[in-house]
Amino acid sequence: MRKLAVVALGGNALVKEGQRGTIDEQEQNVYETCEILLELIKKNYNLIITHGNGPQVGNILMRNEAGYEVYKIEKMPLDICVADSQGGIGYMIERQMRNVLSKAGIHKNIITVVTQVLVDKNDTAFKNPSKPIGPFYIKEEAALLSNANGWEFKEDARKRGWRKVVASPKPIDILNKQAIETMAEHGIIVIAAGGGGIPVYRHENNYLEAIEAVVDKDLASALLAKDIKADEFYIITDVPAVFINYNKPEQKTLKNISLNEAKCYLSEDQFGSGSMEPKIEAAIDFIENGGKVAIITDTTGLYENNSGTRIYKN
């Protein structure tokens, strides 16, 4: 029987640190990532790919502002910007995956699902924006943009600069999850929940309405993985493993840790709230709800067994 894996691609799968984010750069990065994902396909996995959109949706929002300022083009709300990024990034991953499979002589159907994610409009996250999107700025640039647009900025935990932050409510449900599961079980590679999905909420009459927010892609991916009973959950990021005491003399790499150990480190605030913390929370959520193993690593970690940080049931 084939194993089912959900692989959550971080922003570095599209735009690497120090790059401008040109289309040529993004397509090359995506192609290289798809070559690595091919390893799972060769190992007979059914595959669901999710992805981040932080740089891309931030750029779409800036185009919003520039278009309005210069040409008075009406601004689109954040949910439409997230949907735009889902379609664009999904198309890139889908096309480059087809190229990689073609080169390997493998035929598979691939589909991108523009995915809505249910949230609670009363989530406390709306009172404390924390999800970084868009590029890094120096402090003075961030202050100017904040004054001009009413945006909120926070400094990156790794001191790379300041980024715009928006509300990041907890995902409650993935719409169309049954369809995603069915297609994956039939061997179709599914690209879904891009950028954490498009956040929507229900009125009392069950009417769906969009809400200004960005759902964390790792938490949404974990919710999807547990709901469809995936065997393994991969979180691909820009570091080879998880560390405690990060950037301190006593820094330590975590390799194989239990669920209880992961919870303990989380309670000690060992992980940055805007970076590694949601990844650990997502891994814990997946394992607590029936998942077998969650792996946090960079793309090279897909080549080798026991690479990265692997979190198991106690």
Q: What is the pLDDT of residues 30-58, one digit of tens each?
A: 999 999 999 999 999 999 999 999 888 98
Catalytic positions, please? 11-12, 131, 217, 279
- Name the DSSP class of 302: G
Give 71-109 pLDDT, tens digit per residue.
999 999 999 999 999 999 999 999 999 999 999 999 999
Who has greater pLDDT, 16 or 179?
179
Residue 122 burial (C-beta neighbours within 10 Å; 0-12, 13-18, 19+): exposed
pLDDT tens digit sequence for 145-155: 899 888 899 99
Percent of the chain scoring above 90 in pLDDT:
79
**183 pLDDT higher than 80:** yes
Whole-number pLDDT of residue 274: 65
Q: Are 291 and 233 in contact (CB under 8 A)?
A: yes
The neighbour count for residue 42, using CB atoms within 10 Å, is: 10
CA distances from 299 to 32, 58, 187, 308 (A): 9, 24, 22, 10
pLDDT of residue 167: 94
Which pLDDT tens digit goes with each residue over 283-308?
999 999 999 999 999 987 777 766 89
Query: Residue 179 corresponds to which tokens in the numbers above?
Result: 């369809």
Assess whether pLDDT exceeds 80 at residue 21: yes
Ranges of each domain in the chain: 3-312
How much is the mean pLDDT over the chain?
A: 93
- Unique residue bearing structure tokens 């910007």: 81
Topology classification of domain 3-312: Carbamate kinase (3.40.1160)
Q: Determine the average pLDDT of the residues in 181-210.
A: 97
Best CA proximity match to 307, nearest among 189, 296, 218:
296
**pTM of structure:** 0.92
User: Amino acid identity, residue 153?
Assistant: F
Instruction: Tell how far CA 21 is from the center of its chain.
Output: 17
303 or 121: which carries more pLDDT confidence?
A: 121
Q: What is the pLDDT of residue 11?
A: 76
246 confidence band (pLDDT: 50, 70, 90): confident
